[in-house]
């Protein structure tokens, strides 16, 4: 299946970004993350479940429970997130091992697509949550709502 970066990945990245901002602090609840990032709670719950199953986040149970990163933000890449939520990278159908275009062995553009896919994978793999946090605008607009409702 060719990779499409969907709203699910956008929301997942925004949730991980917020968890990276709060790394080492108290876990954040679904409500806190959803409110801070403008994500519908039910959709975020499904995303967080997939991220937990992929080992990118951990869930803390109980009254002060919520979600936190499973490891430091510099150890979680954009590739980790996209593979967890979208599957393997195949920018075009001919790179998907489950699909066949019929001319893959004589395709004049396959080398280009393979190189582009490889470079894209490399970029995703070397872009950590820390990199994203450092590149983001230094606005507090999306930070404070996550703190509302904390104990």
> Domains in the chain, ordered, with CATH?
7-147 (1.10.10.10)
Q: What is the dihedral of CA 48, 62, 142, 51, to 10 degrees?
A: -10
Give dist(CA 15, CA 50) in Å, integer: 12
pLDDT at residue 76, as a whole number: 98
Per the prediction, the chain carries an average pLDDT of: 86
* Mean per-residue pLDDT, 76-82: 96
Give dist(CA 6, CA 59) in Å, integer: 24
The residues that bridge with 77 in the sheet, in sequence order, are: 128
pLDDT digit string, tens, across residues 2-23: 667 899 999 999 999 999 999 9
pLDDT digit string, tens, across residues 39-48: 999 999 999 9
Running DSSP on this structure, what letter comes out for residue 70? S
Give dist(CA 21, CA 25) in Å, integer: 9
* Residues ≥6 apart with Cβ < 8 Å to 106: none
The pLDDT-based confidence of 1 (bands split at 50, 70, 90) is low
End-to-end Cα separation, the chain, in angstroms = 44
* pLDDT > 90? residue 37: yes
Give dist(CA 79, CA 81) in Å, integer: 5
* Mean per-residue pLDDT, 100-106: 73
């Amino acid at each position: 299946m060719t990779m499409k970066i969907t709203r699910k990945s956008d929301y997942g990245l925004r949730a991980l970004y917020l968890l990276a901002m709060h790394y080492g602090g108290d876990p954040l609840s679904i409500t806190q993350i959803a409110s801070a990032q403008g994500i519908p709670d039910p959709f975020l719950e499904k995303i967080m479940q997939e991220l937990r199953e992929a080992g990118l986040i951990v869930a803390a149970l109980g009254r002060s429970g919520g979600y936190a990163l499973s490891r430091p933000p510099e150890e979680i890449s954009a590739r980790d997130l996209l593979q967890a939520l979208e599957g393997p990278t195949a920018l075009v159908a001919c790179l998907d091992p489950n699909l066949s275009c019929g001319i893959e062995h004589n395709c004049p553009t396959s080398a280009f697509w393979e190189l582009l896919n490889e470079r894209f994978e490399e970029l995703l793999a070397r872009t950590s949550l820390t990199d994203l946090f450092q590149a983001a605008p230094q606005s507090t607009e999306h930070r404070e709502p996550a703190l509302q409702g904390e104990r």
